[in-house]
Structure 1
Amino acid sequence: MADGENEVVRSVVSAILRDRDRLIAELSAVMRAQVAALDSDARLRGLFEAGTTDNLMSVLDFVQNDAAEHDVHAPARALVYARTLAQRDVPLSALIRAYRVGHAGFLDIAMRYAVESGGPDSAAAIIRIVNRSAVYIDRVCEHVGVAYEQERDRWVGSRGGLRQEWVARVLDGTADDIGRAEQVLRYPLTGRHVAVNAWTDPQISARAAMNVLDAVRAALVALFGNPRRALLVPTDEHEVRLWFSISRDMTIDIDAIQRAVAALSSPVRVAIGGCGDGVAGFRRSLRQADRVRELVLLAGPDAPRAVSHDQVAAVALLGGDIEELRHYVADYLGELATDNQRNLWLRETLRAFLANNRSYAATAQELSVHRNTIQYRVGQALELIGNVLDDHDRTLHLHLALQAARWLGPAVLRPGPPG
């Protein structure tokens, strides 16, 4: 590179690095918006953004140096993401399109910075950035494509892949012979079911994740019954779907599940659907478990390690549009929707007060505090939101807003002041 061209390229790289976090968030949002297949799973968004970050850093390095084309290799976390998509049956074309969309977004940003730097060498710098980044993207797409295809062949050829294929057919209604499906899956589809989603931190190794998820299955079998009436289907190397065929009179004891999961001392979370009968119940219970899982992911690290649909059914439905839910919570909680410790106490006290039919004594017993404290906190809470307890409709909305704040916390609350 000529000195002037080199100076402009390095200026562009420095500007992108300066604004890196914002630009990565923008690029990731554009790619997910234009490639809908990649935006269906909140748990994988962190891995997606990690791959985006690593690719951005690598392409910036390649643009400003003279490394040969064969020296370009896809970042490790980008390969992990490609293999995970293969396990989840997301088309390779969606991943490649995301790279193309991301490349276009990168060029738009880089050329804007190059033009802003001014000078006669901007055009030469732009040409270099276009050419070098195109070489990088072509090589990386080739590498992630190979990783995807190899993982897809391995996954489909495994027992887990076969189970996944048959379960997918049962779920989408293309399995005409349910008896044959039961034989392959070794699971009774015509009984009563409860579905469970279980997942681990994606940063732990695949082997460690497998051990943790096997331990979850064993712990839940002890609660739900016969291990021969349990079905485990890997979603990817860090997540599984489980179904348990249960007796008609069995109810879900979430406290027992909480204790069982906590006893594992492993980084795992569990979302439990409701009980359902037959093939329709098999499907419905999973849909419910999936909604609970999305809610737990929205809630972040402070969410309980095990959550059931029965606990959060209304909030799970409201959480389908998180932005609208934030407005809903703000409308009905007023100043109580601000995220701070004092408001947390007041919200929980008011929620328990409503759940206990407005009994100060029962609320005091549930929260293990003095009755006078309950009266004071309820009064403080009602001052912040306005006394709405004489309006049955507004009281219902208040209770739902309190439940949403309880389960989703910062995801639906206004940030409090620092400190």
Structure 2
Amino acid sequence: MGSVGGWVRELAPRGQTALSRSVLPAAQVDRVVDRVGAGPVRWAVELAQGMAEHMVARIPQLGVDGLVQELRKGCEAVAVSMVAALAENAEVAPEPPAEALTGAVEAVGRGVGVEHLLQSVQLGHAYAVREILAEAERHLPAAERFAAVGHVSEVLFGIVNQLSAEMTSEFSRAHAAWVTSSAAVRRELVQEVLAGEPVAADHAHRVLGYDLTRCHTALVVWADDLEHADPGQLAGVAEQLLRDGGATGTLVLPVGRQRVWAWGSSVRGASVGPPTSTGTPGSGVRVAAGLPEHGVAGFASSHRQALDAVRVGTLSRGDRWLFDYAELDLIAMLSADLDQARRFVRRELGGLAGPGEPATTLRTTLKRYLDVERSLNTAAELLHVARNTVAYRVQRAEQLRGRDVEVRRMQLQVALALAEEFGDLVLDEHATPP
């Protein structure tokens, strides 16, 4: 407590898995952990998740594909930067992190106005002030709170002032470039189609250079972070994957710097196959695919499925690059409400929902065992362990769950699938859904 910001180093999150839900590059987060400790950084990650939820709840326009993910990154970057400045008792507010400004570019291509962005900054500021002052009251005696409040207010006000100014400037530059581009015209027409508005097929063909009457497979290709953000590269990945799947016609649209939407169709009327996971589009690049669907309605439907697969991909704890709706449809539907999904998983798994590697191993074994229709031999081959090891793990899993595997077996398999895909997001009762 020796300095004005010393109490900040005592901050701790409600849940112990906060860092695993960070959306910033691990190396970037680790550097701040080395400076101020893990507790304050975990607390900042939780704060950022709450800030993003608060903003989207009050400004629904921010909840669109791609933009909401950038909003989370921006909130987390600012929260972590703020905590570091407070803990180190910085004299001057830090410069707004680059991640906090990418939302401005993403907003332009989605028709979100700068007024919404500036309102989000004010909402985030109010939310952060409320939370950090509550922590000051919890950690500090009354005599020390005045100095803490002054320090907090000075740092946050400085961050908000700079962020608002730079975000407005970034938005203006991106908007000026966007309105003069052909992509703006094409994107506007695509938005009309996706919204279900009547669009003449011949007019759409002229503007888009793409036939909406065929059978379409939609893709979304995105970059995990700014380091891998190259719209040209992402567009090339989408084009190549669609051509490899048999597409003779393609439509690829950039939506900001870190994402492209794409569709492919074949002149022969055959469905364009989804990407295969045998290759890789490059480090830090992810791909989501919808199902093949026919006509104008199918153009929109396949895209919605791809967006659902994107949502799974951004939350997934796996390390794969391809998220195919054909394989993830059930997971996507059941995870639309993560609060309900978490309650379901914990209810079905019981003690098997516990933390740590032993519980993870038991869940993995039980899922493989059920996936192969309870064949001990096949499960053992898949897991590269002895048959008796599988039998022991299944028995132990049943003990922890408190029920035989045949009791509500369908629900058990779904709960195991959700746990495998989302990890602590559905296993930790204190997890905050992003």
Asked if TM exceeds 0.5, the reply is yes
Residue 328 of structure 1, aligned match among 331, 336, 344: 344
SS at match of 2:374: coil
Residues 106, 182 of structure 1: CA spacing in aligned structure 2 closer, same or farther, 3 A cutoff? same
Name the residue aligned to 1:49: 76
In structure 1, give the amino acid aligned to 2:346.
A
Cα distance between partner residues in 1 of 2:44 and 2:363: 37
Alignment check: 8 A CA contact 2:216 2:271 kept? no
Looking at structure 2, the residues matched to 127 and 340 of structure 1 have their Cα atoms a distance apart, in angstroms, of: 42
What is the CA distance between 1:336 and its match in structure 2? Answer: 2.0
Aligned partner of 1:97 in structure 2 is 119
Q: Which among 394, 411, 419 is matched to residue 378 of structure 1?
A: 394
Change in Cα spacing, 1:239 to 1:407, as seen in structure 2 (3 Å) is: same
* Structure 1 position 260 matched with structure 2 position 279: yes
Relative distance call for 1:147 and 1:79 in structure 2 (3 A) is same
Q: Distance in 1 between matches of 2:350 and 2:239?
A: 45
Q: How many residues align?
A: 390
Question: How do 1:313-392 and structure 2 match up within 5 A?
Answer: 313-391=329-407
| Deviation per residue, 1:189-209 (Å, 9 max, x gap) | 111111111111223164xx2
User: 1:148-167 maps to which residues of 2 (within 5 A)?
Assistant: 148-167=171-190
Contact 2:349 2:415 in 1 (8 A): yes
1:26 aligns with 2:38: no
Asked whether the 8 Å contact 1:63–1:128 carries over to 2, the reply is no
Q: Distance in 2 between matches of 1:108 and 1:380?
A: 46
1:274 is aligned to 2:294: no
- Per the TM alignment, residue 382 of structure 1 is displaced from its structure 2 partner at its CA by 2.5
- Which of residues 170, 182, 204 is equivalent to 1:147? 170
Pairing partner for 1:398 from 412, 417, 426:
412
Query: What runs of 5+ residues in structure 2 fail to find an aligned partner?
Result: 12-39, 430-434
Letter in 1 for 2:339: E
Partner of 2:315: 298
Equivalent position amino acid for 1:174 in 2: E
How big is the shift at 1:245? Answer: 1.2
Report the Cα distance in structure 2 between the residues aligned to 1:23 and 1:370, rounded to whole angstroms.
44
2:238 maps to what in 1?
Answer: 217
Q: 1:273 Cα deviation (Å)?
A: 1.3
Q: Tell me whether 1:245 sits opposite 2:265 in the alignment.
A: yes
Please name the residue that 1:7 is paired with. none
SS in 2 for 1:357: coil
The CA distance in 2 between the partners of 1:110 and 1:267, in whole Å, is: 33
The answer as to whether partners of 2:137 and 2:145 remain within 8 angstroms in 1 is: no
Decide whether aligned partners of structure 1 residues 328 and 245 sit closer, same or farther in structure 2, where only a CA change above 3 A counts: same
**CA distance 1:102–1:381, shift in 2 (3 Å):** closer
What letter is aligned with 1:46? K
Mapped contact 2:216–2:302 kept (Cα < 8 A): yes
Mapped partners of 1:298, 1:60: distance in 2? 30
Residue 53 to residue 175, structure 1, CA distance change in 2 (3 Å): farther
Counterparts of 2:190 and 2:48 in 1: how far apart (Å)? 35
Distance of 2:313 and 2:410 partners within structure 1: 23
Change (3 A) 1:74 1:267: closer
Q: Does 1:409 align with 2:423?
A: yes
Following superposition, the deviation at residue 399 of structure 1 comes to 1.2
Tell me which amino acid in the other structure corresponds to 1:296: G
Within 2, Cα distance between the matches of 1:337 and 1:127?
Answer: 44
1 CA distance for matches of 2:368 and 2:400?
Answer: 17
CA distance in 1, matches of 2:331, 2:183: 33
Deviations 1:35-59 (A, max 9, x none): 4343555532123321454477789
Distance 1:58 1:86, change over 3 A: farther
Q: 380-389 vs 186-195, which deviates more?
A: 380-389
Residue 251 of structure 2 aligns with an amino acid whose one-letter code is L
Give me the whole-angstrom Cα distance separating, in 2, the residues matched to 1:267 and 1:357: 36
- Please say if residues 265 and 271 of structure 2, whose CA atoms lie closer than 8 Å, have aligned partners that are also in contact: no
C-alpha change, 1:396 and 1:149, in structure 2 (3 Å) is: same
Larger Rg: 1
What's the TM-score, normalizing by structure 1? Answer: 0.78
State the one-letter code of the partner of 1:234: P
Counterpart-to-counterpart distance in 1, 2:114 and 2:205: 30
**CA apart distance, 1:73:** 7.1
Q: CA deviation at 1:229?
A: 0.9
CA contact (8 A) 1:346 1:377 kept: yes
Change (3 A) 1:336 1:131: closer
Q: Is the 8 A contact 2:44 2:76 kept in 1?
A: no
Q: Helix, strand or coil for the counterpart of 1:90?
A: coil
1:114/1:242 CA distance change after superposition, 3 Å: same
Higher helix share: 1
Cα offset, 1:24, TM superposition:
6.8
Equivalent pair of 1:54/1:78 in contact (CA under 8 Å)? no
Confirm or deny: 8 A CA contact 1:114 1:126 kept in the other structure: no
Choose 168-177 or 354-363, whichever is displaced more.
354-363
- Distance, in Å, in 1 between the alignment partners of 2:177 and 2:117 is 19
Q: For 2:120 and 2:9, how far apart are their aligned partners in 1?
A: 21
Give the structure 2 partner of residue 287 of structure 1.
304
